[in-house]
Structure 1
Amino acid sequence: MSMLEGRRVLLVEDESLVAMLAEDILLDLGCEVVIAMRLEQALRNLQAETFDLAVLDVNLGDARSYPVADKLFERCIPFLFATGYGAAGVEPAYRTVPVMQKPYQKDDLETLLQHLLTCETSQRKTEAGSFGCSCTPHFNGSGRNQIRAD
């Protein structure tokens, strides 16, 4: 049994085909998935439900997912950003949050989500307003992950 089995994941993704792909991957990993395609919907879901993990697309049409990230941080729910632009697509204040470059790859997503559940040092907000983790994985889209010690 995988450590992801039965975990509730908030998936915030505005592109329907991309959301379906990510949902299929998460379901294959044994997760329960709640999809939000708009910022307001994600914030409502987060307020109404309990989640173990979250995967946030950075760009949601004309909005960004940073308000969701802030709420996840406040609730100590591990999360990652997913973007086609990689780490460069994330505002500097959030650059220490794990980033997975799209398109979603099952092995990369599984490894990163497991890491989020087992990382000894959880994400925290620093005095400068950014987040930090002592062991932040970054996926470069090549199928290989790189763990960066911050």
Structure 2
Amino acid sequence: MEHVRVEATGTGNYLDPRAYLGLLPSLSAELPPGARAFAADPDHYNFSGKRCVKDLVLDTLERGTTDGEDWLRLGFRHNCWKHEEDLSIRYIGLSSLAAVPAGWTGFGPVTLDEILPREQGCSHEIGFLAGSLTVLSRDLTATWTEADCPDK
């Protein structure tokens, strides 16, 4: 990630989105509308917020084409200790998808993410405990839906 810091330490990870959050007001005007709304959500980087992406787990990846335009949907499961909702992100006008490592299993929970404006729309890099995904698309739509936490 260019501005969000995610660094392994001897006891866990150091996560710091402050540099990105400082730039976000100026970046917002260049982001497509859906990406802007998702990135600017006040809970997005609030570690105690119900809609913080930290600790979500990727459980669905779907790709397709509608009306000649490629799309991708990533589904993230909640963590019952923190979240009350699952997250689905639909990317429209998909240009590329890159995973590190190249496999699709074992990423673990999300650490943090970063959305940046790009000529063709936006890039969305999602960091996980054991890898990352980077999506380039025309725009994205993030949708939160009620989760099935039995104790809530």
TM-score range, shorter chain: under 0.3
TM-score computed with the length of structure 1 as normaliser = 0.28
TM-score computed with the length of structure 2 as normaliser = 0.27
Richer in helix (by share): 1
Higher RCO, 1 vs 2 (CA within 8 Å, ≥6 residues apart): 2
Larger Rg: 2
Richer in strand (by share): 2
